[in-house]
Structure 1
Amino acid sequence: MNQRTKIIPPDVEYHRVLAGEKRRIGRGILAIVLLIGGMLFFSILFSAVVTMVQGSRADGTVAYTPLFHAAGMASVAILIPWSMLIQRWLYGLKGASLHSVISRFRFDIFGRALLFLVPAWTVITAILYWAPLPETTWSQTDVVWFLIATLLLTPLQGAGEEYGFRGLILRVAGGWARGARAGLVVGIVVSSVLFALVHFSTDLLLNVNYLIFALGTALVTWRSGGIEIAVVLHAGFNTLGFLFDAALHVDITAAYDRTAGVGTMTTLLPGVVIAITVLIVWMRTRRTGPARTPHKIKSNVGAGVA
């Protein structure tokens, strides 16, 4: 454990903030184990609490109620402070540096990304929900509570995964190589593969979709120098999906089946939005290159989606 907070290195890209003279692979593996292990622990713990509160069904399963939904969202949202704590403990850097290369959440970039991505995700989500999905019977009260839980917690759930995978893991693995470009490749590969694996899907197209999503958000995080656009991509897609679920009374347990054979070509539609976002961010940073930590960040701070 570090006894004091270290200074963020100047003039480095987002994924290289944790890189040092030594590659510290063992420490990096420990950080990843703590992150994913914590993610699974919080999920099991919250699910157990919900089971104690509402009980289980005759077959031993737990009904997907608004309370269960809220618990699932909250268990992943905790990855935001958990990622910051791991970075502080193992690397001695303040958790705020996970926000961006200037160690704060850039609301200007976040706002511009919202203006572009929310309409785009709305169109894609409408297409994905065009075909009928399995339905369930919910009371009006259940729908209201489900909407409240979704609006309050799902954005944080999406952000939690981004801080964990495109934040901490991208940085940890990005420091395992000697050079910045090699570190970027290693960071993207490790964070993307782990992101796909933690979704526990055996369907090929679903896993391809997860990999495309992870690759795109990692590239956006690298070029823009922060987590803000990736958070909008992830939180926006998840939140809109659950809002559609509530409006259409979708049976979430059946609709979110991740076993082999459930994926179709429409499963890859979100990749269109991801690809367009990467292209826009890349074009807006083509002259400045990826944003870096101060002192050369002045021309890069505004990089983002417009």
Structure 2
Amino acid sequence: MNTRRNTIPPGVEYHRVLAGETRRIGRGILAIVLLVGGMFFFNILFPAVAVLVEGGPSADGGVAYTPLFHATGMAAVAMLLPWSMLIQRVLYGVKGASLHSVVSSFRFDIFGRALLVIIPVWTVVTAILYWAPLPEHTVSNTDVVWFLLGTLLLTPLQGAGEEYGFRGLILRVAGGWARGARSGIVVAIIVSSVLFAIVHLSSDLLLNLNYLFFAIGIAVVTWRTGGIEIAVVLHAGFNTLGFLFDAALHVDVIAAYDRSAGVGSATTLLPAAVVVLTALVVWFRTRRTGPALTPSPLGLHGAGDPAQPGTDAPPARAARPEKTVAGMN
């Protein structure tokens, strides 16, 4: 079913790695269906196991948000990380590690610098979001400890899983539906961002706008930096801090994370605003170099090798040194 095996085209942007001579829209739709379907499957299966382990639903038919239920929910979304890699490998013949970045590895230098800049900002933003009273419930100290452990160990992977799925696989799949790199990134951002908002299953306008612009901003960051590292810091950092505050303040998570119409407030769009601001900073920092590109076959970024068939980068772009487009230098 794949047209090439383990091959990363040289001199192309992150979202064009899966682009070929044909647009392969049918294959792309299959990839998206498998990804989203898998996400819902994991989100049903894992928490269901937690409910069975803990004795089934409560007397009123509801589900208690226990530490085990929380941990299985985080683990379910984290499964998108290997699932995305598997779908890419099976349907496109491209190794899963290429989802990390244009150099097919996770760039810990960019990740580390992003942590130092973004986490303090998220800490302040989270404090603002939790300034107003939230619904609370009684919870034992033991449960608080288990909530904290589950959050610290699994929520970063949960955020990463969503990024590899939506800003990784879906961005690449949709990015190959257009003929060129510029039209491809427009299609990729629209498709990945709209789907990201839809899967959160909210009927509130402000929440949906927050999800949409949050996704657009992270997609721009991923495109310009040529990798998923900063996206993971933005998403996983925000989610992890939020659940840490929930545990510390004994927040009733089910009530606090209600996504029905009318729950949005003046601060609802604050996370999206931070992400969009981050995207603008990254764009400014990469305005001269442009988006990061995949390296040449020999790993010589200055070799000036021409773009290969099915790619759309001119020779001058392909010759740009990879280290100048890290995005957070």
Amino acid at match of 2:123: T
Q: Cα distance, 1:5 vs. partner?
A: 2.3
Runs of 4+ in 1 over 6 A off after TM superposition: none
Pairing of 1:175-190 with structure 2 (within 5 A): 175-190=176-191
Q: Is the 8 A contact 2:74 2:155 kept in 1?
A: yes
Q: Is the 8 A contact 1:277 1:305 kept in 2?
A: no
Q: Quote the residue 1:305 is aligned against.
A: 328
So what's the TM-score if we normalise by structure 1?
0.98
Partner of 1:267, secondary structure, is coil
User: Deviation per CA, 1:219-272, whole angstroms, max 9, x where unpaired?
Assistant: 000000000000000000000000000000000000000000000120011123
Q: Is the 8 A contact 1:112 1:304 kept in 2?
A: no
Q: Quote the residue 1:172 is aligned against.
A: 173
Q: Which shifted more, 112-121 or 266-275?
A: 266-275
In 2, Cα distance between the equivalents of 1:51 and 1:283? 48
In 1, Cα distance between the equivalents of 2:107 and 2:321? 13
Q: Quote the residue 1:281 is aligned against.
A: 282
Q: Quote the residue 2:18 is aligned against.
A: 18
**Unmatched runs of 5 consecutive residues or more in structure 2:** 297-318
User: Deviation per CA, 1:59-86, whole angstroms, max 9, x where unpaired?
Assistant: 2121000000000000000100000000
In 2, Cα distance between the equivalents of 1:273 and 1:300? 26
In 2, Cα distance between the equivalents of 1:292 and 1:8? 11
Partner of 1:236, secondary structure, is helix
Q: Cα distance, 1:299 vs. partner?
A: 3.9
Partner of 1:130, secondary structure, is coil
Amino acid at match of 1:113: A
Partner of 1:6, secondary structure, is coil
User: Deviation per CA, 1:74-109, whole angstroms, max 9, x where unpaired?
Assistant: 000010000000000000000000000000000000
Partner of 1:265, secondary structure, is coil
Q: Quote the residue 1:85 is aligned against.
A: 86
**Unmatched runs of 5 consecutive residues or more in structure 1:** none
Q: Cα distance, 1:208 vs. partner?
A: 0.2
Q: Is the 8 A contact 1:124 1:269 kept in 2?
A: yes
Q: Is the 8 A contact 2:159 2:236 kept in 1?
A: yes
Q: Cα distance, 1:56 vs. partner?
A: 1.1
In 1, Cα distance between the equivalents of 2:98 and 2:90? 13
Q: Cα distance, 1:3 vs. partner?
A: 8.8
Q: Cα distance, 1:302 vs. partner?
A: 5.1
Seen in structure 2, the aligned counterparts of structure 1 residues 29 and 179 have a Cα distance that, compared at 3 Å, is same
So what's the TM-score if we normalise by structure 2?
0.91
Q: Is the 8 A contact 1:113 1:304 kept in 2?
A: no
Pairing of 1:238-257 with structure 2 (within 5 A): 238-257=239-258
Amino acid at match of 1:298: P
Q: Is the 8 A contact 1:116 1:305 kept in 2?
A: no
Q: Quote the residue 2:47 is aligned against.
A: 47
Q: Does 1:292 align with 2:290?
A: no
Amino acid at match of 2:327: G
In 2, Cα distance between the equivalents of 1:279 and 1:142? 40
Pairing of 1:66-77 with structure 2 (within 5 A): 66-77=67-78
Q: Quote the residue 2:58 is aligned against.
A: 57
Pairing of 1:133-144 with structure 2 (within 5 A): 133-144=134-145
Pairing of 1:74-223 with structure 2 (within 5 A): 74-223=75-224
User: Deviation per CA, 1:95-127, whole angstroms, max 9, x where unpaired?
Assistant: 000000000000000000000000000000000
In 2, Cα distance between the equivalents of 1:106 and 1:79? 20
Give identity over the alignment, percent.
76
Seen in structure 2, the aligned counterparts of structure 1 residues 167 and 297 have a Cα distance that, compared at 3 Å, is farther
In 1, Cα distance between the equivalents of 2:328 and 2:270? 20
Structure whose alpha-carbon radius of gyration is higher:
2
User: Deviation per CA, 1:189-209, whole angstroms, max 9, x where unpaired?
Assistant: 000000000000000000000
Q: Cα distance, 1:277 vs. partner?
A: 1.0
Amino acid at match of 1:35: L
In 2, Cα distance between the equivalents of 1:300 and 1:136? 50
In 2, Cα distance between the equivalents of 1:4 and 1:187? 22
Seen in structure 2, the aligned counterparts of structure 1 residues 225 and 157 have a Cα distance that, compared at 3 Å, is same
Q: Cα distance, 1:4 vs. partner?
A: 6.6
In 2, Cα distance between the equivalents of 1:42 and 1:142? 24
In 1, Cα distance between the equivalents of 2:323 and 2:16? 16
Q: Is the 8 A contact 2:156 2:236 kept in 1?
A: yes
Q: Is the 8 A contact 2:57 2:63 kept in 1?
A: yes
